[in-house]
Amino acid sequence: MQRVILIVDDNDINRLNLRLLLKDAYTVVEAGDLEQADTMLTEHRVDLIVLDLALPPEPDNPEIGMCYLEQFGREGIDIPVVVITGHDERKLASRAQQAGALDFFAKPFDPDEVRSTIDAAMQARQQQLREQEVSRLLDHRMGQALLGDSEPMQTLRNTIEQVAAAPSSVLIHGETGSGKELVARSLHALSSRSDGPFIAINCAATEAGLLESELFGHEKGAFSGAGKRHLGWFERASGGTLFLDEVAGLPSSVQGKLLRVLERGEFSRLGSEAVLNSDVRLICSTREALVDLVEKGEFRDDLYYRINVVNIPVPPLREHAEDIPFLAMHFLERKALLCNKTLERFSQAAMQQLTAYSWPGNVRELENVIERAVVLAATPVIEMIPSLEGPRLRQEREDLLASWLERLPQDGVNAEMLLDEMENRLVQTALLRSGQVKARAGRWLGFGERAKDKMRYLCDKHDIHPGADEE
């Protein structure tokens, strides 16, 4: 069965040219505006969307298509998008990739560029679907997502089983990478709401000005850019579970409205006085000590007590290090399947490396390290873990970071600008050390299988123009 591409463009000639270019390899359906696009998505199983950013009702305003793309991410619509831009819209194309677009091409069309971009996007989509299926099969085979036979993990699973059936709000506390979202998903799967939706939101990664609209929704015209009604997370999660990750990132203006939902079960969309009822179980997580933020006046105490009805601590990996061999083999099996490699085990020396390391990034760091080892493995037995820092290198890195932090000005810094410049310098350094080859530079930065795609995005973001994509 041919894969289906939806072309969304109000220009009839553009759609015709794209259809003629793609029809031999794909089934092509078309839409001239966003309303037609929604209809096509309902009527067809679409594998890829080619989206022009400038669309009716304002065909000269690329924000129309951009808002549509961003809505996909908010609503969890899992269809890859390639955007069409003008030659003067490179920054907009970079923003579109930040919003979830896989790639872009410019008008007027270069047929070879269009075909290569679409084919690469389709291949990435097929790989994503394959990874999801492998993950599903492995998780089913393992029986549960929270793995490990250590006492801390057994205690955690017992706590989840006790708490899952209750309707109470839950606050999960743990370090970055320790598995807080897995705990939330386990609570949902074992609850009476398991047939309902599970929606996970990272509060710290969502722009503060958009968070209220994302949580509670808005009506058409509620603010500039609100071109149509938007359902918030509380509505989309109705009958299920809403997981607010890094809840410490909630701005004070949103904390009060969230408290109202928890106290009364009511909320309103922005731009509307209509009162809607909430049928959602709320689970929150934090890596920070919320009680400290309460004492500083940065987090409402009444909201803290509402979300902290049940508290579940997630142990860092160093506190259940006896699970590392089991977890490492689990990730080895998973990543080997994804990479189409036959790998048997770790050598004794490699396993000693894994068990001796302190894992400041917890299980997530372990998974990333194993993935990198699998990608680079040339024999069925992984003899060493080259990407794992030893104690000396780790101490050198910590000393270098401490020295750099000490030299920062006392009156503060522009963190956004500083981090952006640091990212730019890292990309430049990686390219310099990798012969200006994006895929190789991406692997040097530890990006794993998506090294080339991530480096393409970063190069576009910082307007860097290296040589080849691959060796």
Domain end call among 313, 334, 353:
313
Q: Mean per-residue pLDDT for 425-437?
A: 86
Q: Mean per-residue pLDDT for 307-314?
A: 93
Q: How far apart are CA 393 and CA 118, in angstroms?
A: 42
What is the pLDDT at residue 144?
44
| Residue 389 confidence (pLDDT) above 60 | no
Is the model more confident about 310 or about 356? Answer: 310
Domain count, the chain: 4
Please say whether the beta carbons of 328 and 354 come within 8 A.
Answer: yes
**Same-domain check for residues 110 and 150:** no
Element (H, E) at 20: helix 12-22
Domain end call among 285, 313, 341:
313
| Cα atoms found within 13 Å of the Cα of residue 288, Cβ hemisphere only | 17
**Same-domain check for residues 157 and 240:** yes
**Same-domain check for residues 47 and 116:** yes
Phi-psi region of 155 (alpha: psi -120 to 50; beta: other; left: phi over 0): alpha
**Same-domain check for residues 154 and 273:** yes
What is the pLDDT at residue 417?
86
**Same-domain check for residues 277 and 218:** yes
pLDDT digits (tens, 9 = 90+) for 244-298: 999 988 888 889 889 988 888 888 888 888 888 888 999 999 998 888 889 888 8
- Bridge partners of 82, per DSSP, are 50, 103
- CATH no. for residue 255? 3.40.50.300
In a domain, 398, yes or no: no
Q: How far apart are CA 418 and CA 426, in angstroms?
A: 12
- CATH no. for residue 9? 3.40.50.2300
Q: How far apart are CA 344 and CA 353, in angstroms?
A: 17
**Same-domain check for residues 251 and 383:** no
DSSP letter (8 states) at residue 218? B
User: What 3-state DSSP class applies to 8?
Assistant: strand
Q: How far apart are CA 279 and CA 281, in angstroms?
A: 7
In a domain, 136, yes or no: no
Element (H, E) at 459: helix 451-461
Is the model more confident about 216 or about 447? Answer: 216
Phi-psi region of 143 (alpha: psi -120 to 50; beta: other; left: phi over 0): left
In a domain, 369, yes or no: yes
Please say whether the beta carbons of 443 and 470 come within 8 A.
Answer: no
In a domain, 405, yes or no: no
**Same-domain check for residues 154 and 253:** yes
In a domain, 400, yes or no: no
Q: Give the per-residue SS3 of 281-343.
A: EEEEEECCCHHHHHHCCCCCHHHHHHHCCEEEECCCHHHHHHHHHHHHHHHHHHHHHHCCCCC
In a domain, 62, yes or no: yes
Domain end call among 68, 97, 130:
130
pLDDT digits (tens, 9 = 90+) for 7-56: 999 889 989 999 999 988 899 999 998 888 888 888 888 889 998 888 88
Which amino acid, 202? N
**Same-domain check for residues 382 and 441:** no
Phi, psi of 255 (to 5 degrees): -60, -40
Structure tokens at 343: 């790998």
Percentage of the chain modeled with pLDDT above 90: 20
pLDDT band at residue 308 under the 50/70/90 scheme: very high
pLDDT digits (tens, 9 = 90+) for 401-412: 888 888 888 888
**Same-domain check for residues 372 and 282:** no
User: What 3-state DSSP class applies to 428?
Assistant: helix
Q: How far apart are CA 295 and CA 302, in angstroms?
A: 12
Structure tokens at 35: 């309303």
pLDDT band at residue 455 under the 50/70/90 scheme: confident
Kindly state the greatest CA–CA separation across the chain.
65
Q: Mean per-residue pLDDT for 77-94?
A: 74
**Same-domain check for residues 299 and 171:** yes
Q: How far apart are CA 308 and CA 290, in angstroms?
A: 10
User: What 3-state DSSP class applies to 25?
Assistant: coil
Length of the chain (residues): 471
CB atoms within 10 A of CB 434: 21
DSSP characters over 219-269: -TTSSTT--S-B--HHHHTTTSEEEEETGGG--HHHHHHHHHHHHHSEE--
Q: How far apart are CA 49 and CA 287, in angstroms?
A: 37
| Residue 397 confidence (pLDDT) above 60 | yes
User: What 3-state DSSP class applies to 234?
Assistant: helix
Q: How far apart are CA 466 and CA 463, in angstroms?
A: 10
In a domain, 286, yes or no: yes
Tokens 């001796």 sit at which residue?
356
What's the domain range around 66? 4-130
**Same-domain check for residues 237 and 282:** yes
Peptide bond into 57 cis (omega under 30): yes
In a domain, 401, yes or no: no
Residue closest to 367 by CA, chosen among 393, 332, 320: 332
276-277/266-267 β-pairing: antiparallel
Structure tokens at 126: 């097929």
**Same-domain check for residues 338 and 302:** no
What is the pLDDT at residue 142?
42
| Residue 350 confidence (pLDDT) above 60 | yes
